[in-house]
Amino acid sequence: MATKLAALAIAAVVSIGDSFISGEGGGDYGRSGACHRAASAPIRSAALRGAEPVNLACSGARTRHLWPAAAGGERLRGEAPQADRLAAVARRRAVRLVVVTAGANDVGFGRIVARCALDWARSPAWRPRHCRGRAQAEIAAALPAMRHGLARALRGIRTTMSSAGDSRSGYRLLVMGYSSPFPAGGSIRYPESGWSRLREGGCPVWNADADWALRRAVPEIDAAMRTAARAAGAEYLDLQHALDGHRLCDRRAAEDWVRPLRFAPWSLRESLHPNAAGQRAIGACLALHYARPPGDYACRATRGGGPEGMRLERSSP
């Protein structure tokens, strides 16, 4: 207890989860190894005054990698389950915020989108092979287990913080959602069936599949995350519109905030993740949320604005 009291002057804000929050796609991973924690990751870009950012998220994580080991949590890329690593931080620091993003890997979203790209490449414009029907069925089948896994992770975080001597009123638990990498199909700047969509843009999907990712897949994943957050008494930050006007290949974008899809081994992992500018924008959203009273909020990009020009508004289910 004496050690805990001595550490109270050193506050920390902690991120837990998968590649979306670890910083995959931002480059400059330093000594984070295979977890790809970028210098531009949202928890670091947020630059919350008076708090040390601690990034425990790891590229490739599923919800089971967040659970405490005692509750079945698994190691990933040579590291202990993230709840156990949080416990070590909470013993040394006064944790003021734990922000969590996880679930997309549980439903296989990245694998599904890569398959959508292959369907685009293997079918002609006069007979497009759309992936959205099969993909939607796979996600719908996986969502209940994903929601349960995230709820279990959030309960594990609550237990971890309680064991470290922290009451619920002493820290904020925030679930942060996802944003689709693609704009609406009609807004993609490259011809639908032209190879420039792959070679120049890195956005090789049929318009209908881009619409599906934006308007159905990501909203349904986010809805499951919001449900899990509500059950744990956690706050929710909706990012569905945080990349508006800057998504991959959006003809309205002066600057894309998403990494193009590239099938080269050294870039495939980074593909379709927010780039450094996109991560700074999400970090700005996180900073705006942290400055507000506890609650659910949605973050939006401002028209013509850069990563620092984000706008926050109250969100309701």
Ordered domains of the chain (ranges, CATH): 2-314 (3.40.50.1110)
The pLDDT of residue 9: 60
The pLDDT of residue 27: 82
Residue 157 burial by CB count (10 A; 0-12/13-18/19+): exposed, middle or buried? buried
Per-residue confidence in pLDDT tens, the chain, 317 aa: 444 554 556 799 999 999 999 999 988 887 777 999 999 999 999 989 889 999 999 999 999 999 999 999 999 999 999 999 999 999 999 999 999 999 999 999 999 999 999 999 999 999 999 999 999 999 999 999 999 999 999 999 999 999 999 999 999 999 999 999 999 999 999 999 999 999 999 999 999 999 999 999 999 999 999 999 999 999 999 999 999 999 999 999 889 999 999 887 767 889 999 999 999 999 999 999 999 999 999 999 988 788 888 999 998 76
pTM: 0.94
Going by their DSSP bridges, the two strands 310-314 and 297-301 should be labelled as antiparallel
For residue 71, give the DSSP letter. G
Provide the token pair at 278: 């996109």
Which residues are within 8 A (CB) of 13 and not within 5 positions of it... i.e. 6 or more apart?
43, 46, 48, 51, 52, 53, 54, 95, 96, 97, 98, 99, 290
Task: Please tell me the distance from the alpha carbon of residue 82 to that of residue 16, in angstroms, as a whole number.
Answer: 7
The pLDDT of residue 3: 47
The pLDDT of residue 317: 64
Which residues are within 8 A (CB) of 52 and not within 5 positions of it... i.e. 6 or more apart?
10, 11, 12, 13, 93
- Residue at 163: amino acid letter: S
Handedness of CA 296, 302, 307, 308 (dihedral sign): negative
Task: Yes or no: say if 137 and 62 are a contact pair by the CB < 8 Å rule.
Answer: no
Task: Please tell me the distance from the alpha carbon of residue 157 to that of residue 57, in angstroms, as a whole number.
Answer: 14
The pLDDT of residue 2: 44
Task: Yes or no: say if 201 and 188 are a contact pair by the CB < 8 Å rule.
Answer: yes
The pLDDT of residue 28: 81
The pLDDT of residue 6: 45
